[in-house]
Structure 1
């Protein structure tokens, strides 16, 4: 099978990783070494899209981490552009992507600092989207799905990657120009657990997000904030 290389928009560039190499791990190692911001590392596997974007934030981590929502919106919009129109794409905080109500991918993120007030040298945001089931028969895991099972058989991983890069760059521009509010307004309607009681990642009533992108979780009369930073991968 001939795999066409994805075309990335200006300001972004791509670097394919060897088979059996995790693009996220590669992105982190290259970020530590000082790779250019805007580099996307990706795998050419046909069963799962795995890719990771390296950013060099100029703001404290508590603001920079909001780019995770940008990457989620980019993925939802790219799926919306390529998938059949009746296929809904939703989010489950902090890092899950849902298609037709079932889990169908996730985002990953890591930075070189964990203090919310400290500005990271780099932030890596990765996506994982299954096109086929890794094992078992369709329907065996009703809470999980894959794109092909949801009627997205015309979508190719590299086409989705190309689209994700374009939509993510567009929303990064919005984010940098006007802050988190516009990102929040786009993200919120796609999250299907806001206003509901949840058990994961913590039990309580998911009220929404605050102005810093932190989860507002109500337990009895108390409302606590939970940051995306708590779910970054520790390296």
Structure 2
């Protein structure tokens, strides 16, 4: 188990100075330190015009959302960040029901959420989820702020793959197999339906903490103009696999929940639990996922960082999964 929360590439913010007062609804409240303040404030978000905080148990990492009208003057060991309420606009309206600490930002269907998230990552901060409203694709991107160097932080790709499979499984017909290709692709009954990708600031050294990571996800829900499914058994969409009632918003909401659960597992049980979950979804030859995220196959190691630079499931001509 990691020595501290800071060692995990989770979507929580970095340490900032403790606050003496917090303004909520136009008023400020202050409170002196107490023994009851032995909790970790990982991230706060604005919701319904008030400030909410994520209270995270420093040992078990179990999260609880509470309305933070009074914030304790935290000791240095406590992590805290407060984002004050902002006026809503059409682009940030809560079209989806996302749990804290996510902040939804909806873009038009002509916008690539992965590219947009990279452009605004520094300013938007951890937990920002960019969703492009399309009917045939579930396409979104999530901004993360890791606290460990780039090389181990990239292991979040395994947690994201597990979470995406779990989100799909909750809507899948009985006996449908959902599997993972290393390091980034998702298959349903052997057919490629999409995957994930990961970006970081260009030029970041492997042993340096990146300013941000952006996790992108694209899943094809509906196949358009691709001929008969039998002519392309290894390529497809969820509509051809029996996912009748799933829409893009439902998948985004499901991933938001399962990703939080997967990061909780990582925090409580270590990367070994994430690794075993991922290998359970792997259908290829026997491999080993090393502690740094690289893959060991037939006695040779394959770099996770190098593999993530080329997106295996993405057709560069269309910007969508291969079909």
Query: Which residue pairs with 2:97 in the alignment?
Result: 7
1:224 aligned to 2:304? no
1:167 aligned to 2:258? yes
Query: Which residue pairs with 2:288 in the alignment?
Result: 208
1:120 aligned to 2:196? no
Does the Cα contact within 8 Å between 2:151 and 2:207 map onto a contact in 1? yes
User: C-alpha separation between the residues in 2 aligned to 1:215 and 1:226?
Assistant: 5
Query: Which residue pairs with 1:199 in the alignment?
Result: none
Q: Which ranges of 4 or more aligned residues in structure 1 deviate by more than 4 Å?
A: none
Does the Cα contact within 8 Å between 1:180 and 1:212 map onto a contact in 2? no
User: C-alpha separation between the residues in 2 aligned to 1:224 and 1:137?
Assistant: 39
Gaps of at least 5 residues in structure 1 are 196-206
Task: Please identify the structure whose Cα radius of gyration is greater.
Answer: 2
Select the residue among 183, 200, 204 that pairs with 1:94: 183
1:192 aligned to 2:321? no
Alignment of 1:1-235 (within 5 A): 5-31=95-121, 33-112=122-201, 113-139=203-229, 140-195=231-286, 207-218=287-298, 223-233=299-309
Task: Point out which structure has higher relative CO (alpha carbons under 8 A, 6+ apart).
Answer: 1
Does the Cα contact within 8 Å between 2:184 and 2:308 map onto a contact in 1? no
Q: Secondary structure at the match of 2:170?
A: helix
User: C-alpha separation between the residues in 2 aligned to 1:12 and 1:171?
Assistant: 15
User: C-alpha separation between the residues in 1 aligned to 2:151 and 2:269?
Assistant: 16
Distance 1:60 1:176, change over 3 A: farther
User: C-alpha separation between the residues in 2 aligned to 1:30 and 1:138?
Assistant: 40
User: C-alpha separation between the residues in 1 aligned to 2:309 and 2:294?
Assistant: 17
User: C-alpha separation between the residues in 1 aligned to 2:167 and 2:270?
Assistant: 22
User: What CA deviation, in whole Å up to 9, does each residue of 1:37-86 have, x standing for no partner?
Assistant: 01110111010111111000000112111111111111100111112132
User: C-alpha separation between the residues in 2 aligned to 1:7 and 1:14?
Assistant: 9
The TM-score, its normalising length taken from structure 1, stands at: 0.86
Offset of residue 174 of structure 1: 2.2
Q: Number of residues paired by the alignment?
A: 215
Does the Cα contact within 8 Å between 2:190 and 2:233 map onto a contact in 1? no
Does the Cα contact within 8 Å between 1:16 and 1:43 map onto a contact in 2? yes
Offset of residue 114 of structure 1: 4.6
Does the Cα contact within 8 Å between 1:138 and 1:149 map onto a contact in 2? no
Gaps of at least 5 residues in structure 2 are 1-93, 311-323
Structure with a larger share of its residues in helix:
1
User: What CA deviation, in whole Å up to 9, does each residue of 1:149-194 have, x standing for no partner?
Assistant: 0000111110011000110111122223443111001110101113
The TM-score, its normalising length taken from structure 2, stands at: 0.64
User: C-alpha separation between the residues in 2 aligned to 1:111 and 1:177?
Assistant: 26
Does the Cα contact within 8 Å between 1:194 and 1:208 map onto a contact in 2? no
The two structures, once aligned, show a CA RMSD in angstroms of: 1.6
Does the Cα contact within 8 Å between 2:162 and 2:277 map onto a contact in 1? yes
User: C-alpha separation between the residues in 2 aligned to 1:231 and 1:42?
Assistant: 25
